[in-house]
Amino acid sequence: MTITFTDAAIEQLNTEDYVAFQLNPSLGGCSIGADWITFKALSSKETQTGEKLVETNYKPVVLGVKHESFFKEDMIIDYSSKRNAYMLKSKSEILSSRLPLEK
The alpha carbon dihedral of 91, 95, 99, 102 has a sign of: negative
Higher pLDDT, 33 or 70: 70
Backbone φ and ψ for 10, nearest 5 degrees, come out as -65, -45
- pLDDT tens, position by position, 29-57: 554 444 578 899 999 998 999 899 999 99
Residue 60 pLDDT class (50, 70, 90 cuts): very high
For the full predicted model, state whether its pTM sits above 0.85.
yes
Of 43, 36, 61, 41, which Cα lies nearest the Cα of 103? 41
DSSP 63-84: EEGGGGGGS-SEEEEEEETTTT
Q: Say how far apart CA 3 and CA 86 lie, in whole Å.
A: 14
